Amino acid sequence: MATTDAGVTAQQSEDSAESPVKRPWLALTALMMALSMIVIDASLVSVLLPDMVDDLHLSQTDGQWVNSIYSLIFASLLITVGLLADKYGRRKLLLIGVVVFTIGSIGSGVSTSPEMLIVFRAVQAVGGALMMPSALSMINVAFVGKQRATAFGMFGAVFGGAAALGPLLGGWLAQEFSWRWAFFINVPVAVVAFIGLLWLFPESKVAGIKGFDFVGMVLSFLGLSAIVFSLIEGQQYGWWHAVGDFKFGPINLGVGGISIVPILLVVGVLLLVILTIWEDYRSRVGATTLFKLSLFKIRRYGYGNVVALIVALGEFGILFVLPLWLESVGKLPPLETGALVAFLAVGTFIAGGSARRLSERVGPTRLVRWGMVIEIVGVIAIAATMSTSFSPWWMVVPLIVYGIGLGLDSAQLTNVVLVDVPADDSGQASAMNSTFRQVGSALGGAIVGAVLFTGLATSLNHRLDSVPNITPTEHSQIVSTVRDTSGQAINAMAKDPALNAVTTQAAEAYTDAAHLTAGVCATLILFGLLFSFGLPGDKVEESDPEKKSEPAAASS
């Protein structure tokens, strides 16, 4: 990957410029309110799942789809929306997104079946996809120089903090009112954000964009959908040999043959390869493209997006596992579960608030690496305190440590990725950055879910062999029930003294699976850390003695 100095020169010339927005920090507050809804609703579902399972009778696969459909649709549409935002107006797309997200929130709150809930979660994702790249573009355009770094730092802090506060909010609402209010509460927030965005932000768009890449949109959506579907449904249909019948139109794959899962994985990858070839062709003939491959020649942008993808695979995976384990094995009610997980936000806000000053001292790229190292330590410490032998509240310190790493990482990674990108390309560049993150989040959720539930079934199968007087039929039924209810059946079994031995083994098996999952999350973040060394270093201007202690705004 090559480097470019264009973004550096532009950045340096902006340091003394004023923001084109009259009240930039008030405008940023309205923007953060809108973005916080997206992030909170992505993270609070894991706490709400136990109540949803009881109320709507969700299966294990339903639960994964309620959680993953959001990231799947979100990621699949972001690239398309980036082009639409640049062409038709960033504020316009953002405001439409707020309205669509609100409709999805209301629909989710009134859902009466798993299918209805999944559909309206998809509607929420469409709204979120309309909002995210538009918001990042508006930050990139509305803030200049050091203000831009601060704005992205605040974005990172809000992004990480909202992800951690989501479980607390969801737990409180589920315990005091109903899980449905976790969606209804978005309505007043959306109204305030809509008014603030309409009042404070001017419209911005890129002149001269003609046409629309419909083929690229379809290839992107189908490719990502095929990959995530296969990962989510791996346990349902089998990872290689079919363990369940798959019927869709003329396709009929029965038990014993090849599973639909590896077929869809291959199809998904091929579609994304074709997408890349298609976009390269359109770029060479001068047609409008869904994304600009030339941007990946900017070294920070190219490597930074890959780092964002890899890290996202692991860093939010722990938030999927932890609430389920705390309620099933730790026996915490939803509010206490959310309160415990919220300590992650304490670390995130501490790190986010100090990220800018630390970035000026050590450089943003190095700070991102520090964040990933601290995240890995935090995940390992969280896994070490997951035990049936002592209180879950021992996790407080590890969660704060993990939150600090997440805050340092998230607060600077977006700025590192976009700092060299020309302003006219900010919409597509922001959309691609968000896509890499969300694809990582969607795939990470699918991978983590597969590891967790496969590990749970394997461990429980082994552990039940030591429990006397269980018939093979009962053995199989217990494993299926615990796995299919995401572990919530453990609490029900604990109420029957005759099942004490089974309950103990189920709790230990869930803990084994949680340890395995945490290890996978830490390993994925480690890969992101290793790949980050492909990013250019943060240089110090040597020509000016007074600036030797300050890092340059960007380096080629």
Q: Which of 245-254, 274-283, 434-443 tops mean pLDDT?
A: 274-283
Dist CA 89 CA 78 (whole Å): 15
Residue type, 325: W
Q: Which residue has the tokens 């077929």?
A: 263
Report the pLDDT averaged over residues 369-380: 90
Taking the alpha carbons at both ends of the chain, their separation in whole angstroms is 11
CA torsion 437-322-48-345 (nearest 10°) is -60
The pLDDT tens digits of the residues spanning 251-280 come to 777 777 788 888 888 998 999 899 989 988
Dist CA 382 CA 162 (whole Å): 20
- Residue 412: name the closest of 216, 148, 84 by CA: 148
Dist CA 215 CA 330 (whole Å): 49
pTM above 0.85, yes or no: no
Q: Determine the pLDDT at residue 274.
A: 95
Which two structure tokens, joined as six digits, stand for 44? 């609070």
DSSP string, 206-224: -TT-----HHHHHHHHHHH
Report the pLDDT averaged over residues 77-90: 74
Q: Determine the pLDDT at residue 270.
A: 95
- The answer for 183, left when phi > 0, alpha when psi is -120 to 50, beta otherwise, is alpha
Which two structure tokens, joined as six digits, stand for 550? 């300050």
- Residue 306: name the closest of 446, 159, 436 by CA: 436
Q: Which residues contact 230 (CB under 8 A, 6 or more apart)?
A: 260, 261, 262, 263, 264, 265, 268
Confidence of residue 101 (pLDDT cuts 50, 70, 90): very high
Which two structure tokens, joined as six digits, stand for 534? 């492909």
Cβ distance 36 to 162 under 8 Å? yes
Q: How many CB atoms lie within 10 A of CB 542?
A: 9
| Residue 436 Cα to chain centre, angstroms | 10
Q: Which DSSP category does 254 fall into?
A: -
Report the pLDDT averaged over residues 158-172: 69
- Range scoring the smallest mean pLDDT among 25-34, 222-231, 436-445: 436-445
Dist CA 338 CA 320 (whole Å): 12
- At residue 281's C-alpha, the angle toward residues 279 and 287, to 5°, is 80
Q: Determine the pLDDT at residue 163.
A: 65
Cβ distance 447 to 309 under 8 Å? no
Dist CA 156 CA 417 (whole Å): 13
Report the pLDDT averaged over residues 423-440: 70
Q: Determine the pLDDT at residue 106.
A: 93
Res 78 pLDDT > 80: no
The pLDDT tens digits of the residues spanning 29-60 come to 787 888 778 777 776 776 777 777 777 877 76
Q: What percent of the chain has pLDDT over 70?
A: 78
Confidence of residue 153 (pLDDT cuts 50, 70, 90): low
Q: Determine the pLDDT at residue 102.
A: 92
Q: What is the mean pLDDT of the chain?
A: 76
Q: Which residue has the higher pLDDT, 319 or 547?
A: 319
Q: Which of 213-222, 264-273, 456-465, 478-487 tops mean pLDDT?
A: 264-273
CATH of domain 6-212+288-465+506-547: 1.20.1250.20
Q: How many CB atoms lie within 10 A of CB 293?
A: 14
Q: Determine the pLDDT at residue 376.
A: 92
- At residue 78's C-alpha, the angle toward residues 91 and 445, to 5°, is 130
Q: Determine the pLDDT at residue 489.
A: 76
Angle between the N-to-C axes of helices 317-328 and 364-385, in degrees from 0 to 180, rounded to the nearest 10:
20
- Residue 47: name the closest of 338, 483, 451, 318 by CA: 338
Q: Determine the pLDDT at residue 146.
A: 64
Res 141 pLDDT > 80: no
Cβ distance 97 to 434 under 8 Å? no
Report the pLDDT averaged over residues 284-293: 78
Which two structure tokens, joined as six digits, stand for 170? 């969801």
Report the pLDDT averaged over residues 101-105: 92
Q: What percent of the chain has pLDDT over 90?
A: 5
Cβ distance 279 to 289 under 8 Å? yes
The pLDDT tens digits of the residues spanning 467-512 come to 787 778 877 888 877 776 667 777 777 777 777 888 888 888 888 8
Report the pLDDT averaged over residues 114-121: 88
Between the alpha carbon of residue 467 and those of residues 193, 419, 460, 461, the distances in Å are: 56, 59, 11, 11
Q: How many CB atoms lie within 10 A of CB 174?
A: 25
Q: How many CB atoms lie within 10 A of CB 162?
A: 23
- At residue 288's C-alpha, the angle toward residues 286 and 291, to 5°, is 110
H or E element in which residue 291 lies: none
Q: How many CB atoms lie within 10 A of CB 466?
A: 9
Q: Which DSSP category does 201 fall into?
A: P
Cβ distance 478 to 52 under 8 Å? no
CATH 1.20.1250.20-classified regions of the chain = 6-212+288-465+506-547
Report strand pairing: 251-253 vs 246-248: antiparallel
Cβ distance 408 to 358 under 8 Å? yes
Q: Which residues contact 523 (CB under 8 A, 6 or more apart)?
A: 314
425: helix, strand or coil: helix
Q: Which DSSP category does 285 fall into?
A: T
Q: Which residue has the higher pLDDT, 517 or 490?
A: 517
Q: Which residue has the tokens 């300590």?
A: 343
